[in-house]
Chain A
Amino acid sequence: MAEPVSNDDADWRDDIFAALKGAEIRQVGYVPDAGHSRLIELCHADPQIRAIPLTSEEEGIGLAAGAWLGGQRAALLMQSSGVGNCINLLSLAKSCRFPLVMLVTMRGEWGEFNPWQVPMGTKTQAALELMDVLVYRVERGEEAGETAAAALDIAFNGSLATAVLLSQRLIGAKKWVK
């Protein structure tokens, strides 16, 4: 188990973590992203949560389905580029009406430095909606916790696939030259 996470840097990510705890999430699959790093640390430090690093985001769709089959709730953390990796696997969630919650940090938006992030970043929401995933966007930190809670609620109580897109402006543009 990881070391306890300091409260000194607490922010909206802690509100999302509180929403995960409130929804009794027991498995968190993730592909690392800088915007999620504090949330990943919080998940690893929690003895009730199994934080599972994935090699690619589509693994998380299967993981979440298996968790639900076994009576546990899972959530996935990924970057917008990873949404593209999930597209065919989303058919698993749709065909079986598995609950699914994807918390997605956005790239390719406001303040993006790397143009290669733009094609997937600008189509992330449309790609999810093409696969009938219910999409919520978060632009301001104070919205993050309640939006995550709303997505978790409709996913697990309504057997729906959901995604919360955390805007790049909220996360802060990546600093490439320090």
Chain B
Amino acid sequence: MMQAGKANDPRLDRREAMRALLDKRGDLLLVTGLGSTTWDAAAVGDDDRNFYLWGAMGAAAMVGLGLAVAQPERRVLVVTGDGEMLMGLGALATIGVQRPPNLALAVFDNARYAETGMQASHTDHGVSLCGVARSCGIEGVYDIADSAALQEFARLVHITDDTLFARIAIKADEPPRVLPSRDGVLLKNRFRSALGIE
């Protein structure tokens, strides 16, 4: 069985990983899942073009799909956790059928349900999110455990005309929470305004 969170763990720091993905973000649109990836995005810096999910666990990838289809000229990045992705695995099949060229999914995999007491998730028992993504027809699949590979993925998000999926191995720790607004209507309206939508 894989062991997460050891002292010599080669896994990435989650805040550093989010910072790398959003470095030089340009006009990238970001969707984050419940819950730690939402705190990570807020810690890197709040932005009107971030849509944070404070609930609806399992929905992050599908929100990204609807957004990517609606905004074909913009790049859409979904960053969510392994637990959130596991709750919506069917979305990978749906996205594998649609394969929008401007959508990238990044799953921060600490093999834990960090928000609820660090219980082991299915990935800790060997379930391969990359394997699922590949089996669903997504061809650009990356299993990332070091910062060089992560920086390369962050670059590909802006230039690849195909759906991308990355599983990013992160340490099972809980950095200080940075909480963005919980007002869903505000988050929705400011996101649309940032895109110039009435």
Contact = CB atoms under 8 A, between A and B. Distances in A.
Interface of A: 26-27, 50, 52-56, 58-72, 74, 88-89, 91-92, 95-98
B66 A96 contact: no
Contact of A66 (B55, B58, B62, B93): B62
Interface in B28-75: 29, 31, 51, 53-71, 74
B196 to A, nearest CB: 8
A72 B59 contact: no
A98 B192 CA distance: 12
A159 B88 CA distance: 25
Contacts of A74: 66
19 contacts: A27-B69, A50-B69, A53-B97, A55-B93, A55-B94, A59-B59, A59-B88, A62-B61, A62-B62, A66-B69, A67-B66, A69-B51, A69-B63, A69-B192, A70-B197, A72-B70, A96-B184, A96-B188, A97-B185
Most buried by B among A27, A56, A61, A69: A69
A98 B184 CA distance: 9
A63 B69 CA distance: 9
B70 A70 contact: yes
B156 interface: no
Contact of B66 (A56, A70, A91, A95): A70
A91 B104 CA distance: 25
A64 B188 CA distance: 13
Given A27-B70, A71-B70, A89-B56, A66 B184 contact: no
A92 B67 contact: no
A95 B93 contact: no
Interface of B: 29, 31, 51, 53-71, 74, 88, 90-91, 93-94, 97-98, 184-185, 187-188, 191-192, 195, 197
Contact of B58 (A26, A54, A58, A65): A58
Nearest to A74: B66
Contacts of B59: 58-59, 61-62, 65, 89, 92
Contacts, number: 122
Given A62-B59, A89-B56, A52 B71 contact: no
B52 to A, nearest CB: 11
A71 B192 contact: yes
Given A67-B67, A96-B188, 15 more contacts: A27-B70, A50-B69, A53-B97, A54-B94, A55-B91, A62-B56, A67-B69, A68-B188, A69-B66, A69-B67, A74-B66, A91-B55, A92-B184, A95-B54, A97-B188
B106 to A, nearest CB: 16
Contacts of A72: 66, 69-70
Contacts of A71: 70-71, 192, 195, 197
Contact of A69 (B56, B98, B188): B188
Nearest to A92: B56
A66 B66 contact: yes
A61 B56 contact: yes
